[in-house]
Structure 1
Amino acid sequence: MPVYSMTGYASGQNGPTGSHSDAEARPQPTGRLGVEIRSVNSRFLDLTFKLPEELRQHEPALRELLTGQLKRGKVELRVAFENTASAGVADPSTKLLQRLNGVQDNIKSWLPSARDLSVADVLRLAAGDSAPRGDLGPDLTELTEKTLKALLAAREREGARLAKMLLDHLGQLRKLAAQALPLVPKLVEQQRTRFLERWQEAMGLGAGATAPEAAQDRALSEATAFAIRIDVAEELTRLDSHLDEIERLVKKGGEIGKRLDFLIQELHREANTLGSKSATLEMTRIGVDMKVLVEQMREQVQNIE
């Protein structure tokens, strides 16, 4: 199953409506429909519709169509309708002219200072009167389905790019963990040697002399406490487990965004702990590099559905 991004855009437009095989079965408006769907990341599915007034009654059907295909994201659907029948000069009917004349006389009886209708006013009103009365629902549904399909394809392409980036970062994190693992035993041995050297200096022992057994026991005790304090084996084990789970989810695909977001938080916690236990510049560098990679992953995971 593919990984889907929540970020995408698609638009569609059809020609003058009424080209369907059932055109004679229902009134056919003459016009051009345009549909745009854009989406960005969001914790939940948040739908916004911007429809012309004559298409507002189709919002429930469009909402059902979108909720059936989309699970998360802030989605805006915008519909525009261009009435091609009114592209030219409309020829007002005699009935319309009579109605306009009656309305004008009625208004002027109450508002004597109101101006008379101009030819431009009459033509504009005639164009509005000739607006299509046909059912745009089937055309709108068909065009929205096509546009939604294009949006899903765009979100899938972006999701594939995000999945590849995440897998690349997982590989880099594994390399950093592999670099950190052998550092701890070396650090413990170095610290034990340093403790013994300090005891020898404090007791005035020369080179090659053996420190008293009590001093060696104390050095061993200090080295053990130091080893416990800087031991990151548990953090590296948990980090490796999180990396395995993230890789499994990315390869599985589907609705994985929320689960990935939780795992990224866990990765960040382990990287922070590893950095806080750092005892050398090399371990500090590894911790910083890990946190940079995890932060980059966090930003991208926010866009995954």
Structure 2
Amino acid sequence: MTAFAHHRSEHSWGSATWELRSVNHRYLELAFKLPENWRQLEPELRDRLRKGLQRGKVECSLKIQLQSQDQSLQLNHALAQQLLETAHSLRADIAHAAPIDVLDVLRWPGVIISGDIDGDAITRDLLATFATTLTEHIANRQREGHALAELIEQRLQSIDDIVRDLRSRMPDIVSAQRDKLRARLAELKAELHDERLEQEMALIAQKADVDEELDRLDTHVVEVRRILKKGGAVGRRLDFLMQELNREANTLSSKAVASESTQAAVELKVLIEQMREQIQNIE
């Protein structure tokens, strides 16, 4: 579901800005943009997102601005030595390799550490701020979900109206088809036995009988409303119901014996497709 949340927090060590963006997706797909020194947070963030969200393509980003009180710096000797050894090893295998620049080594994330930084304290602050951001993000998704539910309800009501209208008109449609058959027979001056004529009439009535399809449409509409009212992660269930609604509309179209029923089937399919597109935004 499409949503956005942005939260900035100030601390003694500096500031942190979290952003959560999500767009429509059939499943939950997570992507992270974290500062190199804080990539160790990703497993915890991933776990929290999976517990709070079910669907959507979600992008999580963090920006940190550190401020050091004494500006003292510490060198991570072990990491620097490892980088130098790796660089020397590569130079032996690469012809005409450029000389190693010490400044490039110092720029490597984690080589230079501010002396007064308390990593554990910063981690606690970052996770607390992330929790606030995630709560806001979920609230935004819920608000959009309520708005989408209202749009879907409008289309469900339209489907109710079409089904009710078509059900009331079906006797007249079948009767008109019978009259049309009699008129054609009269024009052709065809002589059919009464029994044969009744068989033809029965075939017309059987083809035009859409009571079962209309009943199923009513049942599916009731189920969609029940699921929307229930709440929670309902997107996949609603996807399935849209397929079932579309199946009944297609059957209704194939059984159409008059322009009225054909038009009703077309309108139903348009409404169902509109709902299906909206449901892609629902978790």
Matched, 1:7 2:2: yes
Q: Which residue of 214, 218, 229 maps to 1:251? A: 229
Q: Which residue of 167, 188, 212 maps to 1:234? A: 212
Matched, 1:268 2:246: yes
Deviation readout 1:161-186 (Å, 9 max, x if unpaired): 11111111110000001111133221
Q: Which amino acid aligns with 2:249?
A: A
Calculate percent identity across the aligned residue pairs: 41
Offset of 1:260 from its aligned partner? 0.5
Q: Work out the CA distance in 1 between the residues paired with 2:4 and 2:62.
A: 14
Offset of 1:234 from its aligned partner? 0.9
Q: Work out the CA distance in 1 between the residues paired with 2:246 and 2:216.
A: 11
Deviation readout 1:243-275 (Å, 9 max, x if unpaired): 010011111111111111000000011111111
Offset of 1:202 from its aligned partner? 3.7
8 Å Cα contact 1:49/1:78 also seen in 2: yes
1:167-206 matches, cutoff 5 A: 167-203=153-189
Q: Which residue of 42, 49, 55 maps to 2:25? A: 42
Matched, 1:74 2:74: no
Q: Work out the CA distance in 2 between the residues paired with 1:38 and 1:255.
A: 18
1:80-159 matches, cutoff 5 A: 80-85=63-68, 130=114, 133-135=117-119, 136-159=122-145
Q: Which structure 1 residue ranges, 4+ long, deviate > 4 Å from structure 2?
A: 90-93
Offset of 1:117 from its aligned partner? 10
8 Å Cα contact 1:195/1:219 also seen in 2: no
Q: Which amino acid aligns with 2:58?
A: V
Matched, 1:286 2:259: no
8 Å Cα contact 1:38/1:75 also seen in 2: yes
Q: Which residue of 247, 259, 275 maps to 1:297? A: 275
Q: Which amino acid aligns with 1:134?
A: D
Change (3 A) 1:82 1:198: same
Q: Work out the CA distance in 1 between the residues paired with 2:56 and 2:26.
A: 7
Larger Rg: 1
Query: What SS is found at the alignment partner of 2:233?
Result: coil
Query: How many residues end up aligned between the 2 structures?
Result: 258
Q: Work out the CA distance in 2 between the residues paired with 1:117 and 1:244.
A: 70
Offset of 1:62 from its aligned partner? 1.6
- Root-mean-square deviation (Å): 3.3
Offset of 1:91 from its aligned partner? 8.4
TM-score by length of 1: 0.75
Structure with the largest fraction of strand = 2
Q: Work out the CA distance in 1 between the residues paired with 2:226 and 2:113.
A: 61
Q: Work out the CA distance in 2 between the residues paired with 1:277 and 1:147.
A: 53
Q: Which amino acid aligns with 1:300?
A: Q
Q: Work out the CA distance in 2 between the residues paired with 1:76 and 1:148.
A: 12
Change (3 A) 1:129 1:189: closer
Give the corresponding residue for 1:125.
Answer: none
8 Å Cα contact 2:72/2:115 also seen in 1: no
Change (3 A) 1:137 1:222: same
Give the corresponding residue for 1:107.
Answer: none
Q: Which residue of 16, 24, 28 maps to 1:33? A: 16
Deviation readout 1:206-248 (Å, 9 max, x if unpaired): xxxxxx8x54433322121011112211110111100010011
Change (3 A) 1:264 1:131: farther
Change (3 A) 1:184 1:215: farther
Query: What SS is found at the alignment partner of 2:26?
Result: coil
Using CA pairs under 8 Å that are at least 6 residues apart, name the structure with larger relative contact order, 1 or 2.
1
1:205-216 matches, cutoff 5 A: 215-216=193-194
Q: Work out the CA distance in 2 between the residues paired with 1:243 and 1:129.
A: 61
Q: Work out the CA distance in 2 between the residues paired with 1:165 and 1:279.
A: 32
